[in-house]
Structure 1
Amino acid sequence: MRVKIAAAGRLRAGAEADMVSDYLTRFDRTGRALGLGPATIHEIEAKKGGMVAEADLLGRAVQGADVVVALDERGRVMTSPEFAAMLADWRDQGRGEVAFIIGGADGIHPALLEAADARLSFGMMVWPHMLVRVMLSEQLYRAASILAGAPYHRD
C-alpha cells in the first residue's frame, strides 16, 4: 500500500527535512516486505486564496487515494500499535494508497476535513505543520517496525 503525504508549505533544508527523509527511508526499507510503501510527499503552496485555495490543491493532491486521513487536533488520538493495526487493516483490505493531509497555519478547510475518511490527532495541542511531517514520518516507520516485529517500538 502506497503512502502519500500531501502537505501545505515547502519544507526547506534543515533538521526537519533531514528527519522526514530519514524516517521515510526507514519506512520504505522496513515496509517493503510488509506491502507498505513507498511513501511520497506532495507539497502545495497556496499563496492566494487562503484555506479555500489550499483545500483545493490538497484535495487534488490526494485525489484517487483509497483512504484519506486528515491530520487534525480534533481527530482520533491513538497509540502507535493502534496506528500500525489501522495501516495493516487497510493494506489487508486491498487499499492501494493511503493519503495523509497536513494543512497549513490555519488548519484544514472544513469541507476537506468532512470529505476525509478519517481524522488523526497527535494530541490536543496544535503542532507546527513542519513538525507534524516529522511526527507522521516517524510514526509510519514505527508502524512498519511494529508490524515487522522489530525492536524499535517498546511498550
Structure 2
Amino acid sequence: MQHIDIIAVGRVREQYLSAGINEYLKRLQPYARVRILEGPEEKVPDHLSPARVEQVLAAEGAGLKRLLRPGAYTIALDREGVMLSSEELATRLADLALDGRNDLAFVIGGTLGLARELLEFADLRLSFSRFTFPHQLMRLILLEQLYRAYKIQRGETYHR
C-alpha cells in the first residue's frame, strides 16, 4: 500500500472544501495511506516586488521542504509540468509501486506557486491544467484524481 503525503501551504478555510477533502480521504483508505501536512503560508499583498515574491516563495518552500519524508518520491504540482491523463496517472502510480517507491509526496504551493528550489528538487513536476486553481481547491482536485487512479488500476467503474 502506498503512503502518500500531500504537503500544502496553509490551511483550508472553506467548509465545503474541507467536507470534500474529508470525503476523498475516507474513500482512499482502502487504496493508500494518505495524510495532509500543512506548511506555513506567508501573507501576500496585492503588489509585490520581484524580490519580495522570491522571499515569499523561499519562506513557504523551506516550510514545505521540512515536511518531506527523506526518500519520498516527490511530485511538485506545477502549471508548467507534464500533463497526464487519469489513466496515465494510474499507470505512473502503479509503476512507482512496482519499483518499490511506495512513499510519495505531492507538494502544492501557495498563491505564488512553488519555489524554484522545490521544483528542481522534485522527481516529477505534474500539471493538472494550464489554468490557475486556488491552492486550497487543488487539494480536493488532487485527492479526487488519486481516488480515480486507484479505481482505474483495479478496473472498478468509478472512472467511467
Aligned equivalents of 2:77, 2:6: Cα separation in 1: 10
Match of 1:39 among 9, 14, 34: 34
User: Secondary structure, in 3 states, of the residue corresponding to 1:38?
Assistant: strand
Q: 1:78 aligns with which of 80, 84, 95?
A: 84
Compute the displacement of 1:12 (Å): 2.5
> Structure 1: 5+ residue runs without aligned partners?
32-36
User: Counterpart of 1:14?
Assistant: 15
d(CA) in 2 for partners of 1:54 and 1:82? 30
Q: Distance in 1 between the 2:153 and 2:65 partners?
A: 30
Q: How many residues align?
A: 148
Q: Deviations over 1:57-87 (max 9, x none)?
A: 1111113143000000001111001000000
Q: Percent identity?
A: 39
In 2: Cα distance, 1:80 partner to 1:63 partner: 26
* SS of alignment partner, residue 39 of structure 1: strand
Among 104, 110, 117, the residue aligned to 2:116: 110
Match of 1:5 in 2: 6
Maintained 8 Å contact 1:65/1:99: no
Distance in 2 separating the partners of 1:111 and 1:41: 21
The structure number with the bigger radius of gyration is 2
TM-score, reference length from structure 1: 0.91
Kindly provide the amino acid, as one letter, of the partner of residue 80 in structure 2: R
CA RMSD between the two structures: 1.3
Q: TM (normalized to structure 2)?
A: 0.88
* Counterpart AA for 1:44: G
Aligned 8 A contact 1:24 1:138 in 2: no
Structure 2 spans left out of the alignment, 5+ residues: 44-54
Deviations 1:29-60 (A, max 9, x none): 2x1xxxxx200000111437511111011111
* 1:97-139 Cα deviation digits (max 9, x unpaired): 1000000000000111011000111111111101110100000
**CA–CA distance in structure 1, aligned partners of residues 65 and 79 of structure 2:** 19
**1:123 counterpart residue number:** 129
1:132 aligns with 2:99: no
Q: How does 1:51-66 map to 2 (within 5 A)?
A: 51-66=57-72
**Structure 1 residue matching 2:125: 3-state secondary structure:** strand
3-state SS of 1:108 partner: coil
